[in-house]
Amino acid sequence: MAGIGHWITTFYESTVFVYGTVLLVIYALLGLFSYLAIRNFLRKETYTNYFDLLTSPLSPGISVLAPAYNEGLSIIMNVQSLLTLNYPTFEIVLINDGSTDNSMEQLISQFELVAVDFAYNPKIKTQPINHIYKSTNPAFGKLTVIDKVNGKSKADAVNAGINIASFNYFVCTDVDCILDKNALLKLVKPVLEEQSKRVIATGATLRIANSCEIDNGVIIRMKPPRNLLARFQEMEYIRAFVLGKMGWSFINCVPNVSGGLGLFDKEIAIKAGGYDQQSFGEDMELMVRMCRYACDNDIDYAIRYIPETLCWTEGPVTVKIFKLQRTRWARGLAQLMYAHFKMLFNPKYGRAGMITFPYNFLFELLAPIVELTGILYYIYLILTGGVNYTFAILLLAFVYSYSVMITTMAILWDQLAFRHYKSWREVVYLCSTALLEFLCYHPLIVIFSLRGYYYFLTGKKHSWGNMQRQGFGQKKKT
């Protein structure tokens, strides 16, 4: 008996050791790759003339899809700000997903809308569309509004938008996100400069808008959020996008393009079946299916990321809402891994099958579980008196300092590329948050992720509702 017990503990300890080492090495590599990718991006940026793209008749058309559910507080302002995007040929498709507030009435009167007889081919099945509206005022000629029956998911709303989109590329965003005015120009560039690969999606950095100075849907000045929870998220986003996604982009292994802002190849998205209404992580799920479709049909594809922040979103400030968000994300991840398990270490799916998917499985999905077992094991050791406290503290200090270093490095990359925030002190303020992450933020994420997995396993029905928002327009700025 004792022999088996010893064997198990040795096995467990060495597995965790290898697991941890690989993770540390991956982060170091990501740091290096992202640096190279950002440097390359910046070099090009010193001479790139977006003006040529803006004025060219050859720029591809883009449909901007913005789903909205009960966003009456800010919907007018958000549509107005979408209409001021810098791009020569684009349309805004606003999908009113059966809002129960007065969103639709506001839209009709503000933009002088009339219902039109709009013929379209529903290539993806969605909840029925009641009416499609266009403006009688040429000033709003780029706007199309879909009024549809609520489909209880963002996926269903966006799918309806994809069905009526006119152009070959679509940008998916949330109506409550604030976009940079050059977002379309910057997102489409990677598609145009690819030599032989087909770029099926591009994404850009997302950030937290909470403490930024915002005036009628335009970011005036970026500030690190004052709320601690939101500041943690800002830091996490910088690390995930500037360091993570850019690093993956360098080796063409981007795992997903975030739902806040992304540009997609419409043909592939439709052929892959559009967004999945059942999914809790619909953006990543679609990306995986698009990759699968591309591999199955021998399309040499690429997914690109740019380090520039083009989208700001309101992050949850209460633990309660944050819990809902993260539980949902974790559940989505579990769902996705289960549904596409065949891809894991499947050479048929190239880098997606051999690198991206295994990474997500081992270090995203399993990480909270590994951590939980680690903690339980530790408790067991403490109880049996098998802990060398000096070693334990040293190891803990090692992991702690390493993680803080990676986070500060991400913030440095971001600062090297763009001089965000007003002063050095604000950057240090943000960096100092990294010191607390290990103690406050990280445990929350682990707990909420485990909660998400639990719901996935038990199949608990849960209505997620809409995140409660204050609406950016409400914060009066003088």
Partner 1 sequence: MPDIFADFSPEEPVRIPLLDSFLELPVIIQIAVIFIFISSASIVFIQVRIWFTRYKGHRMQKRLAVLLPLIDNLISEHIILRNDVMNNSVHADNADLDIDAFRLREFRKKGNKQILIDRLISYRKGFSGSTGALLRRLYLELDLDKVSFKKMKRSQWNTKVRGIRELTDMDISISDVNILPLTNSKRNELRSEARNAYIKLSKNEPFKFFDISTEPLLKWDQIELFKTITTTENIALPSFARWVTYSSNKSIVSFCLKLIVHYNQIDAGPAVVKLLDNKDHVLRAEAINCLGKLKYEEVEQQLLHIYSNQPLNCQLEILKAIGRMETRHSVLFLKQEFLYSTDFDIRKNAARSLVRNAPKALIEELMASSSEDGQLILKHSMNPLIKY
Partner 2 sequence: MRNILVIDDDEIIQNVLEKILVKEGFRVERAQNGKEGLAKFDLLKYDLVITDLMMPYANGFEIISKLKQHPNTANAAVIVISSITHEESVMDSFKLGVDEYIRKPIMVGELLLRIKKLLLSRPSNA
For partner 2, the binding residues (CB under 8 A) are 51, 54-55, 57, 80-81, 83-84, 86, 88-89, 137-141, 181, 215-218
CB of residue 90 to partner 2, shortest distance in Å: 11
Cα dihedral sign for 239, 337, 356, 398? positive
Q: 365 near 333, Cβ under 8 Å?
A: yes
Alpha-carbon torsion (200, 152, 329, 73), positive or negative: positive
Rounded distance between C-alpha atoms, residue 305 and residue 12, angstroms? 37
Cβ pair 152, 55 in contact under 8 A? no
Which partner, partner 1, partner 2, none, binds residue 373 by CB below 5 to 8 Å per kind?
Answer: none
195 binds partner 1 (CB under 8 A): yes
Instruction: Give the whole-angstrom CA distance, residue 241 versus residue 279.
Output: 23
From partner 1, partner 2, none, interface partner of 389 (C-beta below 5 to 8 A by class) = none
Instruction: For residue 92, give the 3-state DSSP assignment.
Output: strand
Q: Find the binding residues for partner 1 in span 308-367 (CB under 8 A).
A: none
Least spacing, CB of residue 114 vs partner 1, in Å: 8
Q: Which two tokens stand for residue 263?
A: 């540009």
Task: Give phi and psi for 406, each to the nearest 5.
Answer: -60, -45
Q: How many residues does the chain have?
A: 478
Nearest of 102, 97, 129 to residue 115 by alpha carbon: 129
Nearer to partner 1, 28 or 444 (CB): 28
80 binds, among partner 1, partner 2, none (CB under 5 to 8 A by kind): partner 2
Binding residue for partner 1 (CB under 8 A) from 12, 29, 101, 141? 141
Q: What span, in angstroms and rounded, lies between the C-alpha atoms of 66 and 52?
A: 27
- Identify what 218 binds: partner 2, partner 1, none; CB under 5 to 8 Å per kind: partner 2
Nearer residue to partner 1 within complex by CB, 99 or 135: 135
412, 436, 444, 450: residue in contact with partner 1 (rule CB under 8 A): 412
Rounded to an integer, what distance in angstroms lies between the CA atom of residue 190 and that of residue 50? Answer: 12
Say how far apart CA 21 and CA 15 lie, in whole Å: 10
| Min CB(67)–partner 1 separation in Å | 20
- The pairing of strands 143-148 and 90-97 is parallel
Which C-beta is closer to partner 1: that of 140 or that of 456?
Answer: 140
**Residue list 37-76, contact with partner 1 (CB under 8 A):** 43-44, 46-47, 49, 51-53, 55-60
Which residues contribute to the site for partner 1 (CB under 8 A)? Answer: 17, 43-44, 46-47, 49, 51-53, 55-60, 91, 114, 116-119, 121, 134-136, 141, 166-167, 189, 191-196, 391, 394-395, 397-398, 401-402, 404-405, 408-409, 411-412, 415-416, 419, 423-424, 427-428, 431
